[in-house]
Structure 1
Amino acid sequence: MASAPAQSLPIFYNDLLPLSTIDHADYSVRSVEAAPHLATQHAVPLTIDEFAAAQRMLPIIFSAGNDPVPLALMGLNEGVNVFLDENGGLTGPTYIPAYVRRYPWMLAKLRPDGEELSLCFDPTTPSVGVFDEGNKLFDDGKPTEVTANILKFCEDFEQAAARTGQFMKDLKELDLLMDGEVAIQAPGLEQPFTYRGFRMVNEEKLRDLRGDQLRKINQNGMLPLLFAHLFSLQLIREIFERQVQLGKGPIAPIVSTEPAPAEA
């Protein structure tokens, strides 16, 4: 079974194999109750299609660097996710980004010089394989409805990712992003914990946009997305309080938001 190109695998993925009617004719997909690969991930890629839903439960920030991407914060420090236990089981209601829900599937190029995308999966996942339970991926050599739905989800994700890329390009052209900094004063401590290493929208620059620029971002749908991001930042304090309650309070209070590796 040939693997998809292994370089620059996105977070969570250990390997990629193209789904094959021959090699995986007897494979099924089954539900798993936990996501151990997410348990230690504090920042997850987010598409702009999810801003409205995510901002009610998760802070939305932008990664540092020359090519920032939107991220949903599930913790404020490396290795800390306040919404999952150590085994990867949910400890309460939250928004689960589509990037997480897509795993272990994704569309990838089998040839670096090609344009065609193939449905691939991470063969190390416990949710895909030859099982007595679960839903079959193929029936008489043809994809089942389950496989068709997986493919549709991955296609929708790619389209959302493309829209997100254009949003970030427009945001960069407007020069609205600035280095982020959030200070949280913990009870009983003289000095606040200060979080840096991410980017956020500069509200002053947003207010000072020219009329034609403001009209453009209102008409193309950018403006409500920017406000969703800004409104969500107040949730950073709630994430901080969750960490303290879990005994995972910050030791080195810095949010590290290196962009996820580019997808194949």
Structure 2
Amino acid sequence: MATAPQPQLPLFYKDLLPLNSKDHADWSVSSFDDASFMADTHAIPLTVDEFVDAQRHYPIVFTANDAPLPIALMGLNEGVNTFIEENGKLEAGVYVPAYIRRYPFILAKLNQGSEEMSLCFDPESGVVGKDNEGNTLFEADGDERKPTQYTNDVLEFCRRFETSGQRTKAFLEQLIALDLMMDGEIAITRNDMPEKPFVYRGFRMVNEEKLRELPAEKVEELNKSGMLMLIHAHLFSMNLMRIIFERQSAQGKLPMPENKA
């Protein structure tokens, strides 16, 4: 079976194979028994279409690189996910980002010289295979095999995710063009150690001061486009930084605090 080009695999994916009716005619997809594949992941990629739902449970910040992208923080430190319970299950009732729901499938380019994308999957995920029970990927159509409704739904979900990704990219480009981004820093202290703050850096966020200083016509433009609502969802979600900190503290997953200068 051909392997999709993979100079750098996305988060969670250990390998990629293009799905096809010849090699995977009688393969099926089962459900994950738990969420252990994300147990050591503290930051999950997010799209702007998810901001309103995600901001109820996670701080939404932006990566600190040349092309920042939004992420939902499920923990404040590398390797810490405060929403995975002892039995490996994801905590019930919290919003599940589309990036997680998409796994183990993804749209990927098989030919780097083409813009065409094909539906691929991670064969190392443990849920896609020939002897699996669950949703079948292909069904008989005369002498041929055609995608089942499940497979078509997966493909459509991945397509919508890619479209959301383009909207997310445009949103970030606009924030940068308006010079609204700033390096983020959050210092949190515990009541029992007020002199030793836990300082979190390495992310970007919207500069509220610069947002307030925008001309009225630009603010109105952001409001009409829906961007202002997204910005506010991000800013409101920052109040959850302390909540995630407290979750880590209760779970005994805090690192050593910084020495106060």
TM-score category by the smaller chain?
over 0.9
* Equivalent residue number for residue 256 of structure 1: none
Secondary structure in structure 2 of the residue aligned to 1:181? strand
Alignment check: 8 A CA contact 2:196 2:257 kept: no
Equivalent residue for 2:164? 160
Counterpart residue type for residue 5 of structure 2: P
Question: Is 1:236 the counterpart of 2:241 in the alignment?
Answer: yes
- 2:150 aligns with one of 142, 146, 153: 146
Once the two structures are TM-superposed, the CA of residue 86 in structure 1 deviates from its matched residue by 5.8
2:177 aligned with 1:169, yes or no? no
Work out whether residues 104 and 121 of structure 2, in 8 Å CA contact, stay in contact via their aligned partners in 1: yes
Q: Does the 8 Å contact 1:35/1:87 carry over to 2? A: no
1:134-154 CA distances to partner (integer Å, 9 max, x unpaired)? Answer: 111100101001101100100
**Structure 1 counterpart of 2:217:** 212
1:122 is matched with which residue?
Answer: 122
Deviates more, 1:77-86 or 1:52-61: 77-86
Consecutive aligned runs of 4 or more in structure 1 exceeding 4 Å deviation:
none
TM-score, structure 1 normalization: 0.93
Q: Which residue of 2 aligns with 1:33?
A: 33
Could you tell me whether the CA contact under 8 Å between 1:36 and 1:87 is conserved in 2? no
Cα distance change, pair 18–252 in 1 and its aligned pair in 2 (3 A): farther
Query: For the residues of structure 1 that align with 2:148 and 2:257, how far apart are their CA atoms?
Result: 49
Three-state SS of the structure 2 residue aligned to 1:180 is strand
In 1, Cα distance between equivalents of 2:87 and 2:17: 26
Q: Does 1:224 align with 2:229?
A: yes
> What is the Cα-based RMSD across aligned positions, in Å?
1.3
CA 1:30/1:252 → structure 2, altered by over 3 Å: closer, same or farther? farther
Q: Which residue of 2 aligns with 1:180?
A: 184
Q: Distance in 2 between matches of 1:91 and 1:144?
A: 31
Aligned-residue identity in percent: 55
Give the paired residue count: 253
In 2, Cα distance between equivalents of 1:78 and 1:72? 13
Q: Secondary structure at the match of 2:196?
A: coil
- 2:204 aligned residue: 199
1:252–1:80 Cα change, 3 Å: farther
2:6 matched to which residue of 1? 6
Report the CA distance between 1:125 and its aligned residue. 1.0
Partner of 2:24: 24
Distance 1:161 1:192 in 2: 36
- Determine helix, strand or coil for the equivalent of 1:231: helix
Tell me how far apart the structure 2 counterparts of residues 92 and 134 of structure 1 sit (CA, whole Å).
22
Greater C-alpha radius of gyration = 2
**Does the CA contact (< 8 Å) of 1:39 and 1:86 recur in 2?**
no
Q: Which runs of 5+ in 1 are unaligned?
A: 254-264
Structure 1 residue 132 displacement after superposition: 5.1
The answer to whether the aligner puts 1:96 opposite 2:96 as a matched pair is yes
